[in-house]
């Protein structure tokens, strides 16, 4: 059995995890009488104090509705809101803020795209998704397919949890209208070769949609380099508040797409004879938006920008490597998802133990993980399991916490398996 006190690797230059943890007030509490070990970052990550402060300051000093007021607070709120949009633009390296639409999150962004592309779809058209998608990147396409007569076809995956590129190539043809695929799998941690997929799909004239929900907490995408048509993510997974996310969309496609919802803000002029739409991005932003949340997301991006991203990624890979070396210390434990390119996500099962029991027993030790199907039922079907236990790490997690997770699993295995 591997000794849990094995020597640590040297600290990564430019990355002081103890200092970083002090930025996240929630992490220093006790849960069930034990120091909290938060390993459910894939579901939602924690917020640095600067995000909490930015939202608090927004409400204390500048709250008003945006794009409306003939008054100072209205100007302040609008400036803060639009500054946040610019931060998202820079974060994704989009060409223009006209291409950044605020949404409630990834789910709403993907629904917006699916509905917006519906007028282009006709019977026999094909929409490619993958076997590893989150339901948010399956169900909206199924709903649109039902309306339009298009078909949703899954790209197969390999047993280690990588996209099967032969399956992908065999599915591509002139009927392929849309490729909608996740950048990173929430349940496996697999990083997909998105740029390559986009390039091949474009050769057939397909529109490319990337679900970036699980990518952005770990690395920064570049939508221009990827040359994707749409890229969606949620603020709450990237250390910002809940209730907001963003959709990057190629301007020419956004111009052509119908609005998603009707109401205030999204119109240019309304009459009973004829209503016309506002310019981008407002055409897709009906109603009063989540202003404080946008400001909070902007602060989260500022926070990430001042970190050494390369050092952060190295530290995360070290967490994953550490976890992988410890798997053999828990009899009957196996990892689901062993792709060569992964973010630090560890989905696993332990012989004789139900995933939900693992979750409950870890919680008693102050360790938070997620168990279940992870909103990826087709993926669970592929592996023939009802669900998995999933530890998903963020840059503020430590090697000691990885050790504690495995010490906890060893204890559970000894007592219950």
Among positions 262-321, residues that touch ligand 7TS (CB under 6 A) are none
Residue 106 within binding range of ligand 7TS, rule CB under 6 A: yes
Cβ-contact 190, 132 below 8 angstroms: yes
Buried b (16+ CB within 10 A) or exposed e, 334-346: ebbbbbeebbbbb
Check if 228 is active-site.
no
- Cβ 138 to ligand 7TS shortest distance, Å: 10
- Cβ 230 to ligand 7TS shortest distance, Å: 13
Q: Three-state SS for 351?
A: coil
Q: Which of 87, 134, 177, 349 binds ligand 7TS (CB under 6 A)?
A: 134
**Residue labelled with tokens 């803000």:** 265
Nearer to ligand 7TS, 246 or 333 (CB): 246
Please choose, out of 11-19, 313-321, 370-378, 393-401, the segment that lies near ligand 7TS by the rule CB under 6 A: 370-378
- Cβ 185 to ligand 7TS shortest distance, Å: 7
| Residue 180 Ramachandran class (φ > 0 left, ψ -120 to 50 alpha, else beta) | beta
- Cβ 235 to ligand 7TS shortest distance, Å: 8
Of 323, 375, 380, 402, catalytic: 375
| Residue 41 Ramachandran class (φ > 0 left, ψ -120 to 50 alpha, else beta) | alpha
Here's the x/- map for ligand 7TS, 216-235, by CB under 6 A: it reads as ------------------x-
CA 209 – CA 181 distance, rounded (Å): 6
- Cβ 107 to ligand 7TS shortest distance, Å: 3
Here's the x/- map for ligand 7TS, 38-57, by CB under 6 A: it reads as ----xx--------------
Please choose, out of 7-15, 86-94, 114-122, 133-141, the segment that lies near ligand 7TS by the rule CB under 6 A: 133-141
Residue 370 within binding range of ligand 7TS, rule CB under 6 A: yes
Nearer to ligand 7TS, 62 or 92 (CB): 92
**Residue labelled with tokens 């400001």:** 295
Tokens of 310: 């390369």
Residue 131 within binding range of ligand 7TS, rule CB under 6 A: no
- Cβ 75 to ligand 7TS shortest distance, Å: 31
Cβ-contact 188, 343 below 8 angstroms: no
Residue 371 within binding range of ligand 7TS, rule CB under 6 A: no
CA 176 – CA 168 distance, rounded (Å): 11
- Cis omega (within 30 of 0) for bond into 170: no
Nearer to ligand 7TS, 105 or 387 (CB): 105
Query: Backbone phi, then psi, for 246, in 5-degree steps?
Result: -140, 150
Nearest to 157 by CA among 29, 11, 369, 336: 336
DSSP 72: H
Among positions 158-197, residues that touch ligand 7TS (CB under 6 A) are 182, 186
CA 211 – CA 165 distance, rounded (Å): 18
CA 81 – CA 75 distance, rounded (Å): 10
Nearer to ligand 7TS, 104 or 413 (CB): 104
Among positions 86-105, residues that touch ligand 7TS (CB under 6 A) are 105
Cβ-contact 389, 309 below 8 angstroms: no
Which residues contribute to the site for ligand 7TS (CB under 6 A)?
A: 42-43, 105-107, 134, 136-137, 182, 186, 211, 213-214, 234, 370, 374-375
Query: Which residues are known catalytic residues?
Result: 375
């Amino acid at each position: 059995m591997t000794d849990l006190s094995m020597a640590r690797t040297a600290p990564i230059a430019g990355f002081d995890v103890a200092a970083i943890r002090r930025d996240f007030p929630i992490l220093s509490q006790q849960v069930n009488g034990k120091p909290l070990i938060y390993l459910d970052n894939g579901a939602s990550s924690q917020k640095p104090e600067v995000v909490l402060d930015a939202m608090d300051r927004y409400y204390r000093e500048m709250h008003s509705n945006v794009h409306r007021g003939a008054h100072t607070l209205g100007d302040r709120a609008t400036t803060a809101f639009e500054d946040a949009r610019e931060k998202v633009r820079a974060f994704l390296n989009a060409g223009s803020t006209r291409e950044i639409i605020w949404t409630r999150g990834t789910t709403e962004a993907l629904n917006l795209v699916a509905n917006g592309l519906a007028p282009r779809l006709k019977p026999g058209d094909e929409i490619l998704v993958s076997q590893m998608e989150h339901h948010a990147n399956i169900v909206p396409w199924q709903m649109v397919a039902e309306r339009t007569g298009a078909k949703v076809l899954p790209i197969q995956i390999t047993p280690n949890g990588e996209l099967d590129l032969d399956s992908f190539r065999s599915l591509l043809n002139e009927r392929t209208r849309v490729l909608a695929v996740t950048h990173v799998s929430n349940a496996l941690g697999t990083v997909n070769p998105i740029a390559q997929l986009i390039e091949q799909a474009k050769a057939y004239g397909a529109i490319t949609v990337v679900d970036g929900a699980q990518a952005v907490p770990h690395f920064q995408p570049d939508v221009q380099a990827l040359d994707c048509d749409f890229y969606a993510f949620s603020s709450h997974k990237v250390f910002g508040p809940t209730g907001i996310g963003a959709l990057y969309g190629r301007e020419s496609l956004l111009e052509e797409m119908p609005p998603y919802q009707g109401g205030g803000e999204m119109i240019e002029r309304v009459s009973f004879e004829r209503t016309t739409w506002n310019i981008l991005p407002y055409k897709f932003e009906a109603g009063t938006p989540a202003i404080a949340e946008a400001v909070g997301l902007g602060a989260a991006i500022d926070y990430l920008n001042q970190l050494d991203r390369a050092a952060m990624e190295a530290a995360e890979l070290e967490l994953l490597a550490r976890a992988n070396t410890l798997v053999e210390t828990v009899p009957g434990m196996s990892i689901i998802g062993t792709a060569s390119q992964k973010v630090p996500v560890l989905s696993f099962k332990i012989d004789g133990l139900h995933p939900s029991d693992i979750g409950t027993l870890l919680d008693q030790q102050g360790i938070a993980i997620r168990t279940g199907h992870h909103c990826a039922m087709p993926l669970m079907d592929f592996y023939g399991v009802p669900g998995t236990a999933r530890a998903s790490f963020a840059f503020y997690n430590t090697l000691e916490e990885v050790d504690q997770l495995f010490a906890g699993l060893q204890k559970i295995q000894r007592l219950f398996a």
